[in-house]
């Protein structure tokens, strides 16, 4: 799938993306995490602003979590956000399946019982 996307975009666009720190594989894999967060928020009828006020976390930090802007992700905020949405178990499974990406983003290891499943 990634290779097909690279071919569709062409080498120039891929080079531009990578020069800005965007790794296509990361973007695709992070998309499932983003979708899960958005789905849970929407099910509850919440906006990032609502959650920001409830958790006392700046909106831009929540947006960074959803968008995968690693340099702006605060791991503590991310874990509080996942707990708030009730998706911490799902995120743990996602992090195990995407260990390197989770590590680079700062969201792994997930606090708590790290050895449990």
Model's pTM, two decimal places?
A: 0.75
The Cα 6–Cα 90 span in angstroms is 29
Q: What are phi and psi of 51, to 5 degrees?
A: -70, -40
pLDDT digits over 15-74, tens only?
A: 665 665 556 567 778 999 999 999 999 999 999 999 999 999 999 999 999 998 888 999
């Amino acid at each position: 799938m990634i290779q097909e996307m690279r071919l569709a975009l062409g080498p120039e666009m891929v080079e531009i993306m990578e020069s800005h720190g965007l790794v296509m594989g990361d973007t695709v894999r992070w998309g499932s995490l983003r979708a899960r967060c958005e789905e849970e928020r929407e099910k509850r009828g919440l906006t990032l602003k609502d959650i920001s006020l409830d958790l006392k976390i700046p909106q831009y930090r929540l947006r960074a979590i959803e968008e995968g802007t690693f340099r702006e992700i605060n791991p503590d905020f991310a874990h509080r956000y996942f707990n708030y949405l009730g998706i911490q178990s799902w995120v743990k499974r996602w992090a195990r399946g995407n260990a390197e990406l989770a590590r680079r983003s700062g969201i792994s290891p997930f606090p708590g019982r790290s050895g449990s499943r």
